[in-house]
Amino acid sequence: MMLRDKVIVVAGVGAGLGRSIALAAAREGADVVLAARTAERLDEVAKEIDGLGRRALAVPTDLADAAAQERLAEAARNSFGRIDGLVYNALAMPPIKGLGAVPLEALSASFDGNVVSALRLTRLFTPLLEESKGSVVMVNSMVVRFSQLGMGPYKLTKAALLAMAQSLATEFGPRGIRVNSVAPGHIWGDSLKWYFGYLAHKRGVEVEDIYTETAAGIDLRRLPEPDEIADAVVFLASPLARAITGQCLDVNCGEYHH
């Protein structure tokens, strides 16, 4: 029970990793504030958390909207009176294009969603996190570890998110707030399963063949699953990581070393 009686905000509760993070926090004893645009999905995850014996507050939120973020912070404060951890898992995916070709408007929108929105929400929760000596965990990506054609815009925004988390760790450390990042590799969830199915159909092979081919160059010869990424997030949010701040924990089964 690494998070017994803590209150954790999970911003960006999708059907994959966000849900896994929220449920992992609840299994470790936390009450959870759930934020995302889709109310129905939040309600489903809230019911699962209730089934684990913990409280859940579902707050439909467009995380790119400043006023919506303010309502989220107010709702969390009014419902629980404290916040011990903030997990930022929202993603605004830019076009897969070269930096020389990507529309600057699209790049700006992605930067706002991945970086500016994360900073704004962190600032809104900073007073409560200072009271609890809490922590922030930013969900990043292994894209910061390599360069690949077409992935420049995505790497640019995620590299900025990583730099921001490190700088916040330095700024907030004297106030007792830790700030860390988790960089997943390929996540063997619904989205990747769909994509591997698409590739398998296109190439006339089985999904298992695509998986084996992808995993062949990974140390553990497999891809991490959402729950395994979530466990790393929970660890960094917990007192077990009380001396860890400004770090980025790669969770990729050994695909990249850092």
Spot the catalytic one: 154, 195, 211, 256.
Answer: 154
DSSP state letters, 72-92: HHHHHHHHHS---EEEE----
Please give the Cα distance from 80 to 244 (Å, whole number): 26
Query: Contact at 8 Å (CB) between 86 and 136?
Result: yes
Q: Is 198 a catalytic residue?
A: no
Q: How far is CA 86 from the centre of its chain?
A: 10
H or E segment at 112? none
Answer yes or no: are the C-beta atoms of 36 and 13 closer than 8 Å.
yes
Backbone φ, ψ for residue 89 (5° rounding): -120, 5
Outline where the chain has alpha helix (H): 17-27, 39-51, 66-80, 104-111, 117-132, 152-172, 190-203, 207-215, 226-237
What are the catalytic residues? 154
